A = this chain, B = another copy of it.
Amino acid sequence: MNSRIGVIGGGQLARMMIPAAVNLGLDLSVLAETEGSSARLAATAVGDYHDAETVLRFAETVDVITFDHEHVPEMILRQLVAAGHLVQPGPDALRFAQDKLEMRRRLGELGIPMPDWAAVTTEDELQDFIDDHNGEAVIKTARGGYDGKGVRLVRAAAEAADWFRVLNEDGNGGALLAEERVDFRRELAQLIARRPSGPSALWPVVETVQKGGVCSEVFAPAPGTNPRVLELAARIATTIADELGVTGVMAVELFETTDDRLLVNELAMRPHNSGHWSIDGSVTSQFEQHLRAVLDLPLGDTGVRAPHTVMVNVLGGPTEGEIVDQYPHALADQPGVKVHTYGKSPRPGRKVGHVTAFGDDLDDVVFRARAAAALLGSDL
């Protein structure tokens, strides 16, 4: 059986695949960008994923290629496939996670509910969109954005002048994505894993809280959710996964509107911050499930292990020293909270870890998770 998994990218997502691989007895190798990456323990190669030769050489050492991020150029992905390597998710799926305009077009064809949107190539087009949408628009670069980077709320097209300038310098005739600003009650996420052979499994819908464009807290399951909303989220994620041929874990970020609709905000075709709760809160974590899925193995039970699980990101970290230096206080104060530290140096706003609490009483669980994150030096 195929059991050697190669991960391109050495960030915390690759790192968190390591425990799952160790438990299941699977060989995990990582192609990291730098020495000392978050996933350094499993890094068998260090190199640039923009370099086809580097990636192809790495692929020779494993049975299946998967990803810590979505930034590997589509051309290299297609070279991998042409060379006979298994790539999960493959380029035909991944391009919809790599390019927000392609994603919007494809979801539109599938009839998936989304915010109103347009591809705008000039300030005039953007101004028209703004005028049609209550005098504001959320603009996004089609490629390369993450954690709130490449996203801007504008009330006049001139506020996007710098982005249009970059687009024109590119000479690719690119466009920006303009979206209506959605009046949402809260943000939800539906996590799904799908095997190449077709079967998929859904985790419970979670509520996500962003601060400054960065995921800050996740409540699993999303408290007090209308069963109709749960059903709709499941249908949306399953349709996208099946129709786009997604393999491995996919997160569908959703707006729950004040009038009880769901609109797709973003897609991520990999384990995702909104699923970190599952390591301690679900029978099968998103990382274990991702490994099972990319090997086309039967998927695990996605049930919850407690009525409430709350994940809080540790952003930034302590102003002096390392996160582990905070353990004597933090672990003493919160003996039931699970601490996950990514092996990255503290830096303001950087995702350096997360904590997870679980239990029967939501208020208590939230309090404990936030207390632990604060004691570990989180910015927020």
Interface residues, chain A, with chain B CB atoms under 8 Å away: 1, 3, 15-16, 18-19, 22-26, 41-42, 279, 283-284, 292, 297-301, 303, 305-306, 321-325, 327-328, 331-332, 335-336, 338-343, 353
| Chain B residues within an 8 Å CB radius of A328 | 1, 297-298
State A238–B248 Cα separation when bound (angstroms): 46
New contact pairs (9) apart from A25-B343, A283-B336, A305-B305, CB-CB < 8 Å = A1-B328, A3-B324, A19-B22, A25-B323, A284-B335, A298-B327, A298-B332, A300-B331, A300-B335
Closest to A201 in B: B335
State A25–B283 Cα separation when bound (angstroms): 23
| Chain B residues within an 8 Å CB radius of A1 | 321-322, 324-325, 327-328
| Chain B residues within an 8 Å CB radius of A324 | 1, 3, 24-26
Pair B331/A297 contact, Cβ less than 8 Å: yes
- Contact partner, A22, options B18, B298, B306, B322, Cβ 8 Å: B18
Instruction: Answer whether A340 and B23 are a contact pair too, CB < 8 Å, given A1-B324, A1-B327.
Output: yes
| Chain B residues within an 8 Å CB radius of A343 | 25
| Chain B residues within an 8 Å CB radius of A23 | 19, 279, 338-341
Pair B299/A342 contact, Cβ less than 8 Å: no
State A45–B306 Cα separation when bound (angstroms): 41
| Chain B residues within an 8 Å CB radius of A322 | 1, 3
Pair B298/A341 contact, Cβ less than 8 Å: no
- Contact partner, A301, options B16, B321, B335, Cβ 8 Å: B335
Q: Which of A24, A25, A339, A340 has the most CB of B within 10 A?
A: A25
State A301–B372 Cα separation when bound (angstroms): 14
State A42–B28 Cα separation when bound (angstroms): 13
A14 to chain B, nearest CB (A): 11
Pair A341/B25 contact, Cβ less than 8 Å: yes
| Chain B residues within an 8 Å CB radius of A335 | 284, 298-301
State A332–B201 Cα separation when bound (angstroms): 13
| Chain B residues within an 8 Å CB radius of A305 | 305-306
Instruction: Answer whether A298 and B25 are a contact pair too, CB < 8 Å, given A18-B19, A305-B305, A336-B303.
Output: no
Closest to A284 in B: B335
Q: Jot down 6 A-B pairs with beta carbons below 8 A, ordered by A.
A: A23-B338, A23-B340, A25-B340, A292-B331, A297-B331, A303-B336
| Chain B residues within an 8 Å CB radius of A42 | 41
A146 to chain B, nearest CB (A): 22
A301 to chain B, nearest CB (A): 4
